[in-house]
Amino acid sequence: MKPDNTIVDAGILLQDQKSPTREDQFTRIIQIYDFFEKLIKKHKIQTMCMEKLFFTKFNQNNAEFVYGLRGTLMMLFLKHNIKIKELTPIEVKKYITGTGKAEKHLVQKMVMKIFGLQEMPEYNDAADALAMAYIANKIK
């Protein structure tokens, strides 16, 4: 996203539905690192916004992978002198909708309104990413 809130690119990274092996996870971290490194070079990114993590007993299975990926990406961003901003899901919802308890569909609708999108983002995660990019542009 540009400073004027123009969307440069948006999307999500998909993976197979099968549970990855430990070796698959390491390969995936490298693939994601390479993907972001290319984005950094292509778009001259100055700020990156990341979601603060919260794990419950229901999503512990991927916690180790996510923390490993998060650390890897933070090092990449720091290496390229990219400012890192972190937001919780509640902060994102509150900033975008006015309430930290908003449902996903309300966040999507507000993202559509903010950016003048004709269609709702196909994936909740894409709408969340756009919301976070918007907030990162607004807060100093």
Per-position DSSP letters for 10-22, written without gaps between them: -------SSPPPH
What is the model's pLDDT at position 86? 94
List the one residue out of 132, 40, 38, 127 whose CA is nearest residue 85: 132
What is the model's pLDDT at position 1? 62
* Whole-angstrom distance, CA of residue 131 vs CA of residue 137: 10
* Whole-angstrom distance, CA of residue 123 vs CA of residue 127: 7
Residue 18 reports pLDDT greater than 80: no
pLDDT band at 131 (very low <50, low <70, confident <90, very high): very high
